[in-house]
Amino acid sequence: MRNLYYIAIEGPIGVGKTSLAQLLSKELGARLVLEDFEDNPFLPDFYNDPERFGFQTQLFFLLQRYRQQQDLRQVDMFQKLLITDYMFVKDRLFASLNLGDKEMQLYDTVASLLERNIIRPDIVIYLQADTDVLMKNIEKRGRNMEKNVTWEYIDALNQVYTEYFFRYQDTPLVIINTNNIDFVENENDLKEVIDYIRQPVSGTKFFNPVTEF
């Protein structure tokens, strides 16, 4: 695995993780691994009744992502760069928001065992945006299962991510404010992001681009 350079992209729902991962992998010729959230049979029910279906949803995601992470150990001789649109800790962040105390204790027991075998990224890219921006992005992409997602839920999730990455020190970290850029539709924005990511990183770096109109 150390023959690969591993970039993980993280951030709240609607911030553009998958889009950036796909664009980066195409631009840099990287192996791309995306989370299979649509395969979770409990997710539509969770959005309709989060209190009832939270534990089933989180446990499915935890085991699914663990299995996927084990596949990352299969090294491709012809690709030296790996990009994912999530970190394994993502599930714990969601669980802390979605589960009650007793459910969280049981979840922690399982997650702690699995986390021992997870491969750490070489660098993490954290995409951040205001909650209003995230809600506009969610509405724009129009996923049926997300139609009942509330502003309050996304705002709470946004805060969980902010607090986690405020203390994050496990790997080099690039924090990108996406409020004023569109790397999907604007090639110049994408180029600016890629150029910044390619710079050497140690510790935490903040990138706060502003699009010129």
Which CATH number covers residue 37? 3.40.50.300
Of 94, 91, 116, 95, residue with least CA distance to 104: 95
Give the angle 187-82-30 at the CA atoms, nearest 5°. 45
Per-residue pLDDT of the chain (213 residues; tens, 9 = 90+): 456 789 999 999 999 999 999 999 998 888 899 988 778 899 888 888 888 999 999 999 999 999 888 887 776 656 788 999 999 999 999 999 999 999 999 999 999 999 888 888 999 999 999 999 999 999 988 787 788 889 999 999 999 999 999 999 999 999 999 999 988 888 888 898 888 888 888 889 999 876 554
Q: If you search the block for the tokens 């699009």, which residue do you land on?
A: 211
In a domain, 87, yes or no: yes
In a domain, 32, yes or no: yes
Question: For residues 95 and 57, what is the distance between their CA atoms, to the nearest angstrom?
Answer: 9
Residue 204's DSSP bridge partners are 173
Per the structure, the complete domain to which residue 68 belongs is given by 5-120+127-168
In a domain, 139, yes or no: yes
* 203 CB neighbour count, 10 Å cutoff: 8
pTM of the model: 0.90
In a domain, 190, yes or no: no
